[in-house]
Structure 1
């Protein structure tokens, strides 16, 4: 959102709700999960292939498609390293987009803070939460544990130490992670990474006609107002600045494709749904909570403002 184009008008809609444009962006995710599930359910090649619920993957020899195996190159080099790719794309945008101003501007600092909070949520959910990450703690809480492959009788033998194990440590030990609810880490990561990029680059696109959409905010006096982008009278003379935008869009697009592949080939519907919910919880705190809480907005700001 270019400097000097912020317009505030009275509005009654809750500041915690997305704008029409943001709602369309967010609706892509449940629609993608639904499309992937329909694809895997209705296509005979997928429905008849042998799927291992423990390994959460099709067996390589009978996998119905290239993307149905965990060892496909996009899963190994892109999804498995997904937060690194999202971080790189965000860094390019942060450095190159003129809308942040020059140097270490307030807008740039606030964008870095938003990215840091999103990254912290990703880290706590998938990497470490004072021990095992939240995904693994949830798995154990719902009755899961590390078992010896092909020997479910070993469950009781491991019961005293299972809470300290993670899915990664279990698999490295040649065992299987079984018995609990496994929130889809892939769905969580792909939604978080692509939505982070989407929300941050959206202001770089709002100077095009049709993309200006007011966001509601709560003022310090308790009134609700709308922050929107005014039409630039000179907009016809030049193209809006898009430096740094193509790379984030490309990474977000590939993340969307891999989300569709994940929805079609991996995890159960409920595991994908909980991955979606956990991702949205983090996004809401960073991108919607500040609109209704002026004190939080003073620290995190909003993209483009």
Structure 2
């Protein structure tokens, strides 16, 4: 006898995600998951997975650069710490995916930094603002390592090799949006052990708003991908697409002068459909009275998050070298 309740699609963003009537979710673009690796054969970078919180479930993959022989008990080698929030529209991709694992093995080998790549909860199972809270909690967990025995589930790589004078956050696309929201929170809430957030990297950040800017179309905006994503991941957002979490320059939004870090690096790509929003955000920070060091980097002829997809390409390496300077200067 045929079922009277066939499995039906109840919500979707075509080619990206489908939600079915039985509660199952399909993510067609999700890259396969891969395990961490000690002494990656290509780069020498080591990685491992750790649990930050059981409730809510937050975890991360930590990457450690190849250590030099001088790095003995009496002379530990310390590295900048980058707490990273992956992209994927808040609803797909993972800190454990092949895409990000390959990228960070390359990135860490080129930048001599510790990366804590955060596995935050995804929409629609966990609508926004869940991911913002998860990523803030991950940053707090990292900061707590600056005083030994202060962190729960403490990690020896961070304790032994982390430079807590150089703590950064970074993210691409939706992860760049998370960077903004975590940096704003860092401007009003202290981190454990009086750790200060030194800098923030915004890679092709996702922002939007009801008023079009630059090359954005005036007509059909509500069917554009940035609109569809926000409605999908945060359907209850006050003010909708003009919520300050996605439109930081909306009327009544907190001033960008309150960003809680000392350095900001915004990177965009000329062929990226959200390129203009990245420049718009950079200009918003520049005009806000924020008192830090602000940089904008644009790559011509490249599209959205090209450096994540092709980390060993010439242009990706150029960008990674700029990020390396940002982390070490």
Q: TM-score, normalised by structure 2?
A: 0.24
Give the number of the structure whose alpha-carbon radius of gyration is greater.
1
Q: TM-score, normalised by structure 1?
A: 0.26
**Greater RCO, 1 or 2 (C-alpha within 8 Å, sep 6+):** 1
More helix by share: 1
